[in-house]
Structures are given as C-alpha cells and as structure tokens.
Amino acid sequence: MIKKYYDQDCDLKLLDGKTIAVIGFGSQGHAHAQNLKESGCSVVVGLRSDSKSAKSARDAGLDVMDVESAAEKGDLVMMLVPDEKAADIYNEQVAPHMKEGNVLMFAHGFNIHYQLIKPDECLDVIMVAPKGPGHTVRSQYMEGKGVPSLIAVHHDRSGKARDYALAYASGIGAGRAGILETSYREETETDLFGEQAVLCGGVTELMKAGFETLVEAGYEPEMAYFECIHEMKLIVDLINSGGFEMMRKYVSNTAEYGDYYAGKQIITEDSRKAMKQILARIQNGEFASEFVSEMSSGRQARFLTTRMKENEHQLCKTGAELRKMMSWLKK
C-alpha cells in the first residue's frame, strides 16, 4: 500500500531562511510560486529575458529574474519547464550555479529517470508532482483546500530529502488533500503509459473511431459528435466523483447494460497486448529516445505535421460549430 502523508506530517519551517527558485511560470509554475509565497516561503521565479510570463509573475508580486540568477539564489530549485527543454536549460543555465547542499526538484520524473539530467552527487534530488493541472492547484489552494500530490526521492545527500519534499508539498497545499510517496521510475512510467494508452491516445482514438463509424454508416456528423465525443465529459465527471459504480448508477439501464455487453468487444485481448507493448517501449526507453529525437534533431516535423492533420479532421470542425451553441462553455 502506498504511503500517505498530510500537513501534520510535514514541517514547513524546514523552508524558513531558504529561497525557492521556481524555473518556469506556466501551468504548474504559476501555481507553485504563488502558493509557496502565500505559505510564507521566499520565492524567486527564473525566466528567459523575453518571457511573456514575466509580467504575470511580477503582477503576482513575485521576484522575477533570469534563470541563471534564480538558480544562483535558490537553495531549492524546482524545474517546471517542458520535458523536452529541461535538460538543456538545466545543463546550460542551472547546473553551473548549483551548490553543495542545494535541493533540485522536478514535478515529473522523465529527465531524471531516463538520465537526460545527471545531477551532481552533492545535491538532494526530489520530486513533488501534483495530480492536477496548475489552475486547479492554484484555485484549490485559494479555497483553503489542496490537490493530492506525489513525492519521490532520487538522491538523499542531506538525509532530509524526504522532509524537504513533504515541506514543499505542504507549501503548495497538497498536505490538505494528501501526499503519496512513490519513486521516479513508477511516476514516470505510469504517467507516460496513462497518457498514451488511455487518457490521450486511447480515449481520443476511441472517440474518433466511434465518430467515424457512425458517419460512415450514414448518420449526421452532429449526432455522431454528440454521442461519441461531447457526452464523454458526463461519464468522466461521474467517474471522478464516485468511481465506476457511481457512473453506472446514474446512467440509464440501457447504457449500463451496453457497458457490460460491448466493452470487452472493443477492448479485446489484442488491445491489451498493444497496451503491454506500449508499456514495454516506455520501460525500455524507446519512447523517450524517440520523443527527445523528434523534439530536437527532428525539429518537431512529424509532431507538428501530425497535429495539423488531426486538427483538420471532420470531428474538429463539427465540434467547433456545436460548441458555439453551448453558452455554458468558457470561450
């Protein structure tokens, strides 16, 4: 059973007199920096000189400086930049300024697990990974609540690495909800698998296949979109609120019966074999190698071409038109 911690298990005072440098001010960065500041921590934000996020960070009352200066000033340095950029930023702008006893932090294990970043042995290396998007980490904190977070220790130079992870997690509000201890390997591999096989790759391809099946059978695209894509949120919201059992309680009997009858015809043994193959590519580093190559030497050619092609699909155009009718959606 995974070990859980709460605020009473964390010592936020461990961060007293220390400066936390948050590198990046995107989805997670803006939430971490502001939450930590409001928890009484000393925070600086490291950004490129031409960063469009600098004004937002300053407007939030944060001390903004270039990445090198932030790394120099920070006792704890949290890397909140895209996975494909983290190694270059760390190696070129952060590592030269890290000092013995500093704490290097990540919110995803990708670069450490696949050894794209190899920190000096004189550092503590830990992870604090909220299990929710940055805007939720921020909004829940402002409401006096929190988002559950993972912590992990890669290298414990000081003997206090786990304590630092718990203190930081508490500072962003995670101790109010629960902090779960994992490892860099487990977080990285399960996160990538979930994204590829289920949350993004699996779900979007399933919805697209359903849409195409109905349209090819002569049904109107609008009907196909409503039934195979739009209503997905209803199902996911019910599952998030109360699990599969709550979803099955509140959908119709025909929907529940269809769930039991048809589900295993869609997700077959071949589907499960494909999932295992996807997991194997993640575990052996093939995916990481391919991804890093595409994002660097490949100049994202295949990535961007695929994005463009997917965005031209009929379901995207149909959905865009239907969403104009939905006044409750944020535009």
DSSP label of 236: H
Q: What is the largest CA-CA distance in the chain?
A: 67
> Residue with structure tokens 């948050």?
22
Instruction: Locate 175 and state its tokens.
Output: 């101790």
* DSSP strands (E only) in the chain: 4-5, 19-23, 42-47, 63-66, 76-79, 103-106, 124-130, 149-155, 179-181
Q: Which residues are catalytic?
A: 108
> Residue with structure tokens 């490892």?
183
State how far the Cα of 82 lies from the Cα of 120, in Å rounded to an integer: 21
Residue 249, C-beta contacts closer than 8 angstroms, at least 6 positions apart: 242
- Count CB neighbours of 161 within 10 A: 20
How do 179-181 and 149-155 pair as beta strands? Answer: parallel
* DSSP line for 242-299: HHHHHHHHHS-HHHHHHHHHHHHHHS-HHHHHHHHHHHHHHHTTHHHHHHHHHHTTTT
What CA dihedral angle connects 169, 19, 118 and 174, to 10 degrees? 10
Instruction: Locate 300 and state its tokens.
Output: 């994202």
State how far the Cα of 24 lies from the Cα of 70, in Å rounded to an integer: 11
Residue 96, C-beta contacts closer than 8 angstroms, at least 6 positions apart: 68, 71
Instruction: Locate 63 and state its tokens.
Output: 């001390």
Residue 293, C-beta contacts closer than 8 angstroms, at least 6 positions apart: none
End-to-end CA distance of the chain: 42
